[in-house]
Structure 1
């Protein structure tokens, strides 16, 4: 019975405004009666926000651990690929250890910055509308993450960049990178390079966080055990066959 009511409700709400969704909710509740309590618009919105916050919290906690980036092949930040020739050339002339040291500190900076990411992401979630929430609930396993990525990346980059800059400085990644570039530019017959490390590290650190958040969101959608509150159980359980 629960599947029938939920299917009817979804069909009525496709493309609806918030007011129309409320009207549809009223009709479905009348039909459901005492056998099934339909979700309210507030529950859908709150449930999706709670799921996102849970995913962000778990994802950023995992990323911010020691080796959270460095030993996770899904999000490890490599030497900037647009200057791969720098890495290759330095390894050829026996400076591979310097490259490895830099990559380690680059990921340490991201791990440190991830600790500060949680409140930035959570603040961004609060602008989600009920229409957004319904689209996410009916969407792909990473629909909430993609929504957050699509609507907040520019704002997050602006706020997160000073955090990553501070973290890179704290672990000496910026210094090591400057030393590497300086040494490379001294090699005869090479073109000077000076790519922006802060922009690169910021972009890759945020991408890594989104990757971890997407995994947590998928887990909440698919695994009932991961729904640790009654609201999550109700919102996501309503979609189960």
Structure 2
């Protein structure tokens, strides 16, 4: 028998043995991993996807809270909380009452100061909500719309956040004297002859607007992380969000 043919036959037989079959399988796996790296299609584990989304949300919430809780975070930004519509009639009539000519300006300042105080105190509520994100949720959010993570957070936490946020807002309104100031203004308004008595509350209005502003800024931060790779500040964020690029 030709020696080259003999060697070829021996190699074929050897490679068909179980041990060499395992080697072939390992080499094939390594080849596939190399191809995945080259193509950028590196598999993500459940833990990585979940941790990456949580890190992104935590980063967005942290930056949003830091911005809005600073002085003029609400008052001096596009998230400024305006006087409720139902209070405009009160304000317009009070402008002609001595001592209340600048009632709208003072009230808006106090409401926004209250929101700035409340946002700083409410951050742990958002952090706890982020921790509850499941792998299934995380994967669908990663590959979903560019605001998917924010909308998920908004959809699943708004009611519980409102319940927890409201007493903080009430306390914060009292810290800056907003509710007392408003009660005084309404009392003065109700003394005006022939006006319809009113007493719109500030608590729910400020709470709702404060949360709307916070979610709005979280959304901005999410979009930045999705659209700008330079803002993915950790290896995990880079790896996870490259999946949706």
Structure-2-length-normalised TM-score: 0.81
| Distance in 2 (alpha carbons) for counterparts of 1:111 and 1:50 | 24
Query: Structure 1 residues 137 and 96, CA, compared in 2 at 3 Å: closer, same or farther?
Result: farther
Shift of 1:97: 1.0
1:34 matched to 2:34? The reply is: yes
Query: Structure 1 residues 166 and 191, CA, compared in 2 at 3 Å: closer, same or farther?
Result: same
| Distance in 2 (alpha carbons) for counterparts of 1:176 and 1:220 | 42
Query: Structure 1 residues 34 and 177, CA, compared in 2 at 3 Å: closer, same or farther?
Result: same
Query: Structure 1 residues 87 and 31, CA, compared in 2 at 3 Å: closer, same or farther?
Result: farther
Partner of 2:95: 91
| Distance in 2 (alpha carbons) for counterparts of 1:38 and 1:30 | 13
1:168 matched to 2:173? The reply is: yes
| Distance in 1 (alpha carbons) for counterparts of 2:173 and 2:113 | 8
1:236 matched to 2:233? The reply is: no
197, 200, 203: which one pairs with 1:198? 203
Partner of 2:20: none
Structure-1-length-normalised TM-score: 0.83
48, 55, 62: which one pairs with 2:60? 55
Partner of 2:159: 154
Shift of 1:31: 8.3
| Distance in 2 (alpha carbons) for counterparts of 1:46 and 1:149 | 19
Query: Which portions of structure 1, spanning 4 or more consecutive aligned residues, are displaced by more than 3 angstroms?
Result: 29-32
Gaps of 5+ in 2: 1-28, 37-41
| Distance in 2 (alpha carbons) for counterparts of 1:34 and 1:81 | 61
| Distance in 2 (alpha carbons) for counterparts of 1:35 and 1:88 | 70
Gaps of 5+ in 1: 1-28
User: What is the number of equivalent residue pairs in this alignment?
Assistant: 211
Q: Check whether the contact 1:77–1:205 (CA below 8 A) recurs between aligned residues.
A: yes
116, 139, 142: which one pairs with 1:134? 139
181, 189, 193: which one pairs with 1:184? 189
| Distance in 2 (alpha carbons) for counterparts of 1:156 and 1:208 | 13
1:80-125 Cα deviation digits (max 9, x unpaired) = 1123211222235563312211110110010111111211101111
